[in-house]
A and B are shown apart, each in its own frame.
Chain A
Amino acid sequence: MSHAFQITQLVKKYPEFMLGPLDLTLEPGMVLGYIGPNGSGKTTTMHCLTGLVKADKGSMHIFGRENHPNKPAWKLDIGYVGDVHVFYERWTGEKNLKFLSQFYPDWSDTLAKELADRFRCPLHKKAKELSTGNRVKLSLIAALAHSPRLLLLDEPTAGLDPVVRTEVLDTLFEILEDGQRAIFYSTHILSDISRLADELAFLSNGQLVQRTAKDDLTDSWRRISFRLKDKVTINKVVEHKTEGQDHQVVSSDVVETLSHLKALNAGNIQESRMTIDDIAVHILKGVQ
């Protein structure tokens, strides 16, 4: 069976930034969180994948079809919400959706209406009169109403205040929790996606740093404190703070670190779980 998408050796160069070479795949029905700081290349990856920007090297396939600009059938399989929400500004939301519906054979007006009700999006208003939150909602409705098999979400909640962001995400996740679609969700706010993601891919300076199952990450990372006379290098530790004989470390592999500490006869060992945001910060800090 084809991958939802397959990115092979993607390279995109700008005067002061280079993305890749990047290899990344996503399986149908899986949710991949694409995590990285601002300027790490998340949006460039999305733009290359959607054809908004042409890659310098490499290939991209959506459900087995190359994202060729003159063979656009692959676009039927994707729903895309970018960080900028562009419409025919003087048209109502409803008219914008009507325009889009002409291009998608699987477009459902019923679904669009249902989504608008769930998002509480005022489709009768002109796009230029919509608040930022409602523009995001309209983009999401447009991306979902043709039931795409792959949803590409590029920081869709950027610029929203926390209340509207939570409202949009709660509704979105309710809709997406059925697991029918593959989702590629890029963000620098991990809590936005941690609820839904099966896997997380970390990007820094245009390079993929790590890709791992979300549960593996939370199972293996720990904050550990212990007492030890000497300051030594401990296996799998990414951060080490000391105050006299008291040590506090962050471990990326709790089993290996604990076994090493035991071998060193460390005393008063205590471990605590880390939040996924905290883990992400350490992963990305580690490569900078």
Chain B
Amino acid sequence: MRYVDEYRDAGKARALAASIASLCEPGRSYKFMEVCGGHTHTIYKHGLEDYLPENVTLVHGPGCPVCVIPMGRVDDTIHIAEQPGVIMTSFGDMMRVPGGRGSFFDSKAQGADIRMVYSPLDALKIARTNPDKKVVFMAIGFETTAPSTAMTMLRAKAEGLKNFSIFCNHVTIIPAIKAILDSPDLRLDGFIGPGHVSTVIGCRPYDFIARTYGKPLVVAGFEPLDILQSIHMLLTQLAEGRSEVENQYGRVVPWDGNPKALKVINETMELRPYFEWRGLGSISHSALRVRDAHAEFDAERIFEIPGVRVADPKACQCGEVLKGVLKPWECKVFGTACTPETPIGTCMVSSEGACAAYYNFGRFSRERVREATHG
């Protein structure tokens, strides 16, 4: 398949792995964070950690949008869904995310009209065919999905739809990376930068990571060879004493991003003063809300939102996993009380969540390593 097979060649992967090993200084350890959940998924699915020397560790970052939604926002969504005449729409992965009062599925079972959609455009179609209902789209995601939400609002405005609104939970990636860099828990040597967020925002917003924090960042694609090559590029920078922003994913990511997408986001949404992230706490200017000019599509102004902060379950250590402080299997409830079928924490829900990715693909190889080590 074009754009796929050539990036999964095992021979090339082995050659890259050998080259990666040769770049590592003996006795030095390297810790790189892959910011994006899509990368985490690829790393576990293709067993990429097995290709790396023992002194190169990959740490999973906060770039799974489902994982960083705090429980309070799940409860707020359910509250809106329970109002008379409301049809709530949401991406599929959100349906199972546990809130303080259960998940969307639980609420649906109790009578709320919550429907899974593949895009906000699908929610718009539901609004057109149900003029007597108030249709709300629960919008989540980084800069990759914000353009879709923005365009949908503009389309709704052009059509003069009066029964459609957005419950905006979009977050932005740069403040989350900065929060991680400022966290005293973690010492990182570099970043594997998010590929498709960068399609929208470009590579320039990462400059401060290289300049102020002195860490290299390589924007990477999602195939196994993309990620191995990005690790190779990071190690090359470190070996040469450089810290720069580089773009491994040039076949997709323009250096300046997608100006049209940035324009529609900016036209319809603005930064919130602060927003709570699961595991990272409240981060200033890290999320988007609907602008005044589009208030008619803002569910937060149409409905009364409880906005109650709900503490995560005590057993759940998603926060530490999201910051890369803990590996998924180091969480006390991983794979026992918390599984993809009955998740306690968000990281076990989405296929991009570190815990779900590791549960689905990684745990067997780890068991093999353990057996080999302990006989």
Q: Bound pair: A and B? A: no
Residues of A within 8 A of B (CB): none
- Enumerate chain B interface residues (CB-CB to A < 8 A): none
